Structure 1
């Protein structure tokens, strides 16, 4: 299974919609990102670690929450998202297919040396947009298929009688 590490705040500061949302609330931007990544991880059947810095929060402990294939990580006090990602990529980077999403060029170089494929936040944004469009189209087609008209549910002879009545008035 493909594993993707996402530098959460780097992505929030790169994606146009999330940048607008964070002006009002970082929490709302995080939730919006998490929702998008949940859909993506389900659609692509991959495991995603979304990592948020808490290194400037005194006394913060590392916190992980799991929602399906999405693992939401808040780093501990003194640890950046970059260092968390580097450490974990170092452990699995050569054993499985690993992607790291960040626009930090130094971080991209470091994780590449440890066996991961790097992807910029904007490249990932475009991929997420394409997946969301595909999901939307499939959903619309499914709704259209499931549309149930009255005509589909009545016998032909009854339909014919109703049509004659309609035409006679």
Structure 2
């Protein structure tokens, strides 16, 4: 299974829709990103680590919450999302497939040296948009193929009676 580490605030600041939401509420932007990551993860079967900085929050301890294949991480006081990602990539980067999503060029370089592939937040945005489009097409195709007409669902005698009623009015 591919593991994708996403620098949450880096992505929020880079994606147009999330950046717009952030202007009103960081919490709403985080919630939207989590929902997007759940869909992306479910479609591709990836495990996503969505990492948010809490290093400036006094007394903050590291918190993890799992929602399906998405692990939401708030770092502890004094730890940035970059340092959390670097630590985890150092542990697993050469053992399993890892991709790091951030536009921080230094972070990209460090994680690449530790065995991960890297993707900028904008490249990831385009990939996620394409995935959303594929999900939409698959959903429409699935709904169209599952559509059942009334003629297929009711008894022929009843159908004839309904047709007679329709014609008499």
Q: TM-score range by the shorter chain?
A: over 0.9
Residue aligning to 2:147: 147
Residue aligning to 2:120: 120
* Partner SS state of residue 40, structure 2: helix
Provide the C-alpha distance between the structure 1 equivalents of 2:61 and 2:159, rounded to a whole number of angstroms.
68
Q: CA RMSD in A?
A: 1.7
Residue aligning to 1:110: 110
Question: Once the two structures are superposed, what CA deviation does each residue of 1:10-39 show, in whole Å capped at 9, x if it has no partner?
Answer: 000000100000000000000000000011
Q: Residues 155 and 115 (structure 1 numbering): CA distance in 2 closer, same or farther, change over 3 Å?
A: same
Equivalenced residue count is 169
User: Structure 1 regions of 5+ residues with no counterpart?
Assistant: none
> What TM-score, normalized by structure 1, do the two folds share?
0.92
Provide the C-alpha distance between the structure 1 equivalents of 2:57 and 2:166, rounded to a whole number of angstroms.
73
User: Structure 2 regions of 5+ residues with no counterpart?
Assistant: none
Q: CA deviation at 1:137?
A: 1.2
Residue aligning to 1:66: 66
Residue aligning to 1:95: 95
* Partner SS state of residue 13, structure 1: helix
Runs of at least 4 residues off by over 3 Å? 154-169
> What TM-score, normalized by structure 2, do the two folds share?
0.92
* Partner SS state of residue 64, structure 1: strand
